Structure 1
Amino acid sequence: MPVNKNNGYHTLSKDLSERIEQDRANHWVNPYACPDSAIIRRFDDHDKPHLWRPAFVMDVEKILHNNYYNRYSDKTQVISCYKNDDISRRALHVQLVSRIARTIGMTLGLNLDLIEAISLGHDIGHTPFGHAGERFLNALYNGHTGRLFNHNIHSARVLDHLIFRNVSLQVLDGVICHNGELEQQEYKPKRFSATDPWGEFDTNLEDCYTDPSANKRQIPGTLEGCIMRISDIIAYLGKDRQDALKIGLIENNNHFTSGTLGTTNAQIINNMTVSIIEHSYGKPYISMDKDVYETFSKAKTENYQTIYNNPQLNDMYNNNIRPMFHDMYEALLTQAKRMDQSSILYKHHINYIRSANQYSHYFNIDKYMEHYLSQDPNEIVVDFMASMTDDYFIDLYNYLFPNGSYKVDYIGYFD
């Protein structure tokens, strides 16, 4: 790949650029893209596409208008407890993933509506306080039930069970397979079951609740899902560095190896995008240059060493937020077992779920709620806690424990 030596930005090779331009002039269609006609829904007699609202556009809108979508705006991406409007929240992250994935997908001739739907929905089930919150909730849930909590699996639960809108299998599959902690040099989609795709999906989902290795084995069924999976990492790798610089967690990018990718957010996004397009165009898989992959993998390791495992961040999580998770979980579990309609859990969660599904075209709301309330109370507690924003979590803790032992002190704008 050509490189501008003045700024370290890669560009596509002349041969590939000319090939893409010729293919566009000839109206080439990528035979490996997922067409709208292949969409699979649980209720296939509902949600027929329209000229103005194609199949996967419907899924984009189902996610954008999902009751939980708003909560992205006050959920931590990586850095919590700072009053700083320039630090990324999860709302910005999913938009960045969508933009990067659509840029790559557009150049490769893939289904951009499917890419957008997976991107916007992939973190909708994430906990407050980022991956620290995910770890704490998993430990509590697992301790009570032996089952596992993973945010990607819970995102599918939100879209497919908690607030049911008949989202397609292709989108839900991309959501559960987006595990952004696993980088690979090549992503090759698996085939959906020809006889029972929903049965296969449900089995894979359940395996992730019971088998610690199952989450890492999930492989997207579409190239669009593969693109979103790698774009998830591209979106946070350099952006988290920007955020760490803004709060003074690191002083400069000298902590990181430049290598093939560069160190800034813009360089990483551009150079990863170019490498993926260069090595994936017209192919039934997504790939990248070996040097780029090795530098990319090293860069993620450096982020962990420098940012994600930084004591300045983790002390607040471990000393305050973790015990707050424990106390809140136990209090809400008591409420879930009693199912007192005057409780916070009932008023703020059970009634919320009922209201969100009240006018469903897919099932009877009373039967749905009867089934929901018949679950293990731990499931209901996990649904509620995972749905919380950072601020709501803190306010609820203070409400439940007005004389509680733990407190989150935000670092203000002028501190």
Structure 2
Amino acid sequence: MSVNKNSKYHSLSKEVYEQILGDREHGKINPYACKDSDIIRRQPDHDAPHLWRPAFVMDVEKILHNNYYNRYSDKTQVISCYKNDDISRRALHVQLVSRIARTIGMTLGLNLDLIEAISLGHDIGHTPFGHAGERYLNEIYNEHTGRLFNHNIHSARVLDKLIFRNISLQVLDGVICHNGEMEQQCYTPKTFNADDPWGEFDRSVEDCYTDPSANKKQIPGTLEGCIMRISDIIAYLGKDRQDAIKIGLISNDDSFSAGSLGSSNAQIIHNMTVNIIENSYGKPYISMDPDVYETFSKAKTENYQNIYNNDSLNTMYNDNIKPMFYCIYEELLRQAKSKDTNSILYKHHVNYIKDANRYSNYFGKKEFIDNYLSQDPNEIVVDFIASMTDDYFIDLYEYLFPDGPYKVNYVGYFDNI
């Protein structure tokens, strides 16, 4: 890789640059890319690809048209309760992940449709209020059932169970394996179990509900899944800093070390992209230089120190949003156990799930919906809460508890003038 000391933006080495150009000129295909013909579906007789709608393009469209996809637009990425249209929501985050991953994947000759599908679907099961909301829901769910809630696993549940549209194994695998909280210097994909790929997948999902260490052990089965996993971190690292600066949570020089990647969002994205391409082109793995990995990992640690563990943010979450989670959970659990068809749980969730699957012609879907209410009521409550947007969650609390003691005060557009 070429690094000009007078420039903050790195370049590919001449050797790799010319190799890529030469391979393109000769039409060389990356032998490690996931081919459309490799696609694995639960119901293989459905969803035959077309010339104009290839295999993984179908998955992209199934995710875009998923009933829960639109809710990304009002789910917190990191910063909640600010009336500021420039603060990132998950809708923007998944698009940024997709763009970064597709840029890297295009240069490496990978399957861009698969990359896009994983990127757009990876957070569809995320809770309101970001990772704070995820922690609270996991805490309550675990107290009631002994099981664990992880947003990546729940994203697969949304795509593979609640709104079943026969999403491919490769996409669902990339979703459960994205774990953007754990960076690595080298990402080497696993090999799918050829004899029982869905059994292997289902066991991995179940392990994540019962084993606290299982979630961090998930390894993508495709290079495309590996690319999306690292791109998830690249996408939020500098963007979260931008957002924190916008609201005055931190200053421009607030204990961030530039290192070899730079400190701005643009520098981080550019230099990480270049370094990954430099170290991964033509390889059966995704990698980066040791010093870049060290700087990258340190930058994420600094984000935790200055943003994610910031006292002013966490005080607001812990003092109001956390107890609201407990109140809402217990009330919805009561409704689930009573099976009151006039309750909010039924009208806004159970009936919603039924309507979303009303015209589904996939085998076994009707049976799942018919049996949905016979499962542990905690599962139904978790499905509902995880599906909520930030605003809906707050309005639901006020509706259920009009005299409740907890209240979230938004920072308004004109409060800091």
Work out whether 1:35 is the aligned partner of 2:35.
yes
Superposed CA deviations along residues 167-217 of structure 1, whole A, max 9, x for unmatched, are 000000000000001000000000000100000000000000000000000
Aligned partner of 1:391 in structure 2 is: 391
Aligned partner of 1:103 in structure 2 is: 103
Work out whether 1:59 is the aligned partner of 2:44.
no
CA distance in 1, matches of 2:36, 2:284: 18
The Cα shift of 1:254 comes to 4.4
Aligned partner of 2:73 in structure 1 is: 73
Contact (CA 8 Å) 2:107, 2:277: kept in 1 or not?
A: yes
After TM superposition, the score normalised by the length of structure 2 is 0.99
Following superposition of structure 1 onto structure 2, how do residues 180-219 of structure 1 map, counting pairs within 5 Å? Answer: 180-219=180-219
Contact (CA 8 Å) 1:64, 1:120: kept in 2 or not?
A: yes
State the secondary structure of the residue aligned to 1:166: coil
The Cα shift of 1:8 comes to 1.0
Aligned partner of 2:19 in structure 1 is: 19
CA distance in 1, matches of 2:183, 2:267: 18
CA distance in 2, matches of 1:387, 1:254: 35
Following superposition of structure 1 onto structure 2, how do residues 328-367 of structure 1 map, counting pairs within 5 Å? Answer: 328-363=328-363, 366-367=366-367
Aligned partner of 2:268 in structure 1 is: 268
The Cα shift of 1:364 comes to 5.8
Contact (CA 8 Å) 1:358, 1:365: kept in 2 or not?
A: no
Work out whether 1:168 is the aligned partner of 2:165.
no
Q: Which amino acid aligns with 2:387?
A: S
CA distance in 1, matches of 2:392, 2:277: 42
The Cα shift of 1:370 comes to 2.1
Aligned partner of 1:284 in structure 2 is: 284
Q: Which amino acid aligns with 1:133?
A: G
Aligned partner of 2:405 in structure 1 is: 405
Superposed CA deviations along residues 206-248 of structure 1, whole A, max 9, x for unmatched, are 0000000000000000000000000000000000000000000
Aligned partner of 2:300 in structure 1 is: 300
The Cα shift of 1:409 comes to 0.2
Question: 5+ unaligned residues in a row in structure 1: which ranges?
Answer: none
Contact (CA 8 Å) 1:354, 1:365: kept in 2 or not?
A: no
Distance 1:106 1:365, change over 3 A: closer
Following superposition of structure 1 onto structure 2, how do residues 113-128 of structure 1 map, counting pairs within 5 Å? Answer: 113-128=113-128
Contact (CA 8 Å) 2:254, 2:306: kept in 1 or not?
A: no
CA distance in 1, matches of 2:374, 2:48: 33
Contact (CA 8 Å) 1:257, 1:299: kept in 2 or not?
A: yes
Distance 1:184 1:365, change over 3 A: closer
State the secondary structure of the residue aligned to 1:9: coil
Aligned partner of 2:252 in structure 1 is: 252
State the secondary structure of the residue aligned to 1:370: helix
Contact (CA 8 Å) 2:164, 2:365: kept in 1 or not?
A: no
Aligned partner of 1:89 in structure 2 is: 89
The Cα shift of 1:332 comes to 0.1
Q: Which amino acid aligns with 2:78?
A: V
The Cα shift of 1:361 comes to 1.1
Contact (CA 8 Å) 2:82, 2:412: kept in 1 or not?
A: yes
CA distance in 2, matches of 1:38, 1:103: 22
CA distance in 2, matches of 1:204, 1:364: 22
CA distance in 2, matches of 1:361, 1:132: 37
Contact (CA 8 Å) 1:253, 1:263: kept in 2 or not?
A: no
The Cα shift of 1:2 comes to 1.5
CA distance in 2, matches of 1:309, 1:130: 13
The Cα shift of 1:269 comes to 0.3
Distance 1:322 1:254, change over 3 A: closer
CA distance in 2, matches of 1:100, 1:5: 25
Contact (CA 8 Å) 2:108, 2:280: kept in 1 or not?
A: yes
Alpha-carbon RMSD across the aligned residues, in angstroms, is 0.8
Identical-residue share of aligned pairs (%)? 80
Distance 1:29 1:365, change over 3 A: closer
Superposed CA deviations along residues 112-155 of structure 1, whole A, max 9, x for unmatched, are 00000000000000000000000000000000000000000000
